[in-house]
Structure 1
Amino acid sequence: MSLVLDPAAQDLLFREARTANSFTDEPVTDEQVRAIYDLVKYGPTAFNQTPLRITLVRSPEARERLVALMADGNKPKTATAPLVAILSADNEFHEELPALFPAFPQAKDAFFAERPVRERSAALNAALQAAYFVVGVRAAGLAAGPMTGFDAEGVRKEFLDDDHAPLMIVNIGRPAADASHPRGPRLSYDDVITTV
C-alpha cells in the first residue's frame, strides 16, 4: 500500500465504516462534538470559507418537531438517535471572509457580491465540510447516519432562517449491533479514473 495512514485508521474511517440506522443509547457529549469540529474545520474549501453551520437537536421538543419533518422511513432513526445534527449552508458566509482571509480582504466583494454566486459557493463548500464532518464522526469512534430525506423548507422554517439552506440531517452515536445494511457495491478504479 502506498497510503501513509495506518490500515486500522483506514478501516475506521472508510473500509469498515457504515452508515448507521440504529444506535445504542450511549449519549454523545458536547465535548465529543467539539473534538470532531476542531479536527474537521481544517478540511480545504474555496478561499477557506466555512459556510457549514451545525444545529444540534438535543431537547425532546426540538426532536419531536424535527421528526415530524423527516421522510417516513427516516422518522424512527431520527427519533431514537442519541444526537441529531442539522447541517446547513450559510449563504451569508462571506461576511466572515475578511477575518478568515485577511491577505485578500476584497474577496468578500469581488467574488461574493451577488446572492446566487454565494448560494452556489455555500452549497458546494458546505457539502465538502459536511463530508469532513461525517469522517470526523467516524474518527471519534462514533457512527453517522446522514440523510437527505426530509422536508427541507420545513426544516429551514422551523430551525433556521432565510440565509441558511439545510443540506442534510445526521444521526450520531455508537452503532447498535444491527445498525447497518451490508455494504453496497462501489465503482472500480478503472470505472472512475481517466488519464489524459
Structure 2
Amino acid sequence: MTTTGVPRTFGRCAWHEAFAENVRLIQVDEQGSGAGGVRYACPPCRDRYGLVPLADRVHLAAPAFDPIAAGTSMLALPRTSRLTDGQRDGEACPWCGIELTTRNRVDLGVRPGPYGIPIHPWGCRSCVSRQAREAYAQHPRSCRRCARDPYSCGVRKLWRRLALETRPAGGEHT
C-alpha cells in the first residue's frame, strides 16, 4: 500500500550528527576557493536550538533608490559651525534661514556637525532646488565622464532630477 502526502527527506543532521527524517537546510557555508558545505537540521534539533530553515527566513529587499535622499545628502551646506541651532536641527533652512513647515521642507540627511556631533538639517524647497541647479551646472567642470558625454553621467542626472523634483509650487519662497 502506498501513501501520498508530503514528501519526506532523509539526510544528516549537523546538530546531533546522525541521519534523520525531514531535515531542512539551515546554513550554507561558503569558502573562497575551497569546497563549501551545507548544514541540515532535523525537526527536534530545529526546535531545541531555535533554528530557522533558510527557505523560511524573511529576506529583506534592498530599499528602493530615492533620488531626493541621494541628491540632498550630496548638497554642500554652509559652514556647519556658523549655523544656528534651528538650522542644525531642521527648524530653519541652512541657506536662507526661513522657518520650515512640513509643506516646504526637504530632508538633507544626517551630517557630521561641529565637534563631531551629528546634525540633521532640512532645507526649504526653493533653496534645495537652487543648490541642485548650481551643482548641476558646475558638476561638468570636475567630472571626466561629463567631459566625454554629459548625458551619461549619473551624478549629473541626479542633480537635474533633484532640482526638478524640489521646485517650489507657485507662490512659495524663491
Report the TM range for the smaller structure's normalisation: under 0.3
For the pair shown, the structure with the greater C-alpha radius of gyration is 2
Question: Normalising by the residue count of structure 2, what TM-score does the alignment of the two structures yield?
Answer: 0.24
Per the normalisation by structure 1, the TM-score is: 0.22
Q: Greater RCO between the two (CA within 8 Å, min separation 6)?
A: 1
